[in-house]
Amino acid sequence: MLGGQSSAAGSPAAHRYYNYWPRKIVGGASKRAFDLVAACILLVFLSPILAVASIAICLQDGGFPIFRHMRIGLGGRPFQCFKLRTMVKDGNAKLEALLASSPSALAEWSRTRKLTKDPRVTALGEFLRKTSIDELPQLVNVIRGEMSLIGPRPIVAEELSKYDLDRVHYLRARPGLTGLWQVSGRSNTSYARRVALDKSYTLQWSFGRDIGILLRTLPAVLFGRGAV
């Protein structure tokens, strides 16, 4: 059902933590049940927005609207994370050229894995990111059990080294469509702070806290706080 670009799924880094499996998964069966029901309902109600955005992307450059990127999930299992495509079709080439020619961009990318001024992002993509519409396809990841509605920000394998010993906390949870990172500044948050938020979430998880994060997500999205 979903296709498009993807990262190198077979890289050694993507499978390095596959053998780890937590004894206690954050939230357990109750969290998973809530995710499944809520994600199905949200997907039904938000499907018109997803359809319009997908058509707009296709009309923009004729490319496939869904982008797939390899991320690390629960227990270190790699999975294809779905998003609406917000970049030009030759985005990877543009990124490599920029990083090779700009030391400041390379430093920012090495530090945060993001760019304040990303030449790959289209005008439509900038709007989709600011409103978080680009992340709606991740509801499919939630339904498939690869993600949760609330959890740590999904990361690529190379980022686990930045977590050091705290990686065990990330690996205990399903990555979230939203989470403490999103309601605490998103792109304005340092990487060290992001790791601390992930650790805090997994150590202090409660169903009530998940509901609180969901309620805080809407104003964070509406006002575009920390969006790229």
pLDDT in tens, 15-36: 555 556 677 899 999 999 999 9
- What is the chain's length? 228
- The pLDDT assigned to 8 comes to 40
Q: What is the pLDDT of residue 146?
A: 96
Q: How far is CA 6 from the centre of its chain?
A: 14
136-158 pLDDT tens trace: 999 999 999 999 999 999 999 88
Question: 46 is written with which tokens?
Answer: 């938000």
Average of pLDDT values for 197-214?
93
User: 188 pLDDT band (50/70/90 cuts)?
Assistant: low
Q: What pLDDT is stored for residue 101 in this prediction?
A: 81
List pLDDT tens digits, range 72-97.
999 999 999 999 999 887 777 777 78
Domain locations in the chain as residue ranges = 12-86+121-221
Tokens of 29: 């069966």
Residue among 176, 221, 212 nearest 194 (CA):
176
- As a whole number of angstroms, the distance between CA 55 and CA 52 comes to 5
Q: How far apart are CA 212 and CA 149, in angstroms?
A: 12
Instruction: Between 9 and 74, name the one with better pLDDT.
Output: 74
Of 157, 173, 135, nearest to 9 by C-alpha is 157
Q: Are strands 66-72 and 78-84 parallel, antiparallel or unpaired?
A: antiparallel
Confidence of residue 183 (pLDDT cuts 50, 70, 90): confident
| Per-residue pLDDT at 16 | 56
**Confidence (pTM):** 0.82
Tell me what pLDDT residue 193 has: 87
How does the average pLDDT of the chain come out, rounded?
84
| Among the listed residues 168, 158, 219, 228, the one whose alpha carbon sits nearest the alpha carbon of residue 198 | 168
pLDDT score recorded for residue 19: 58
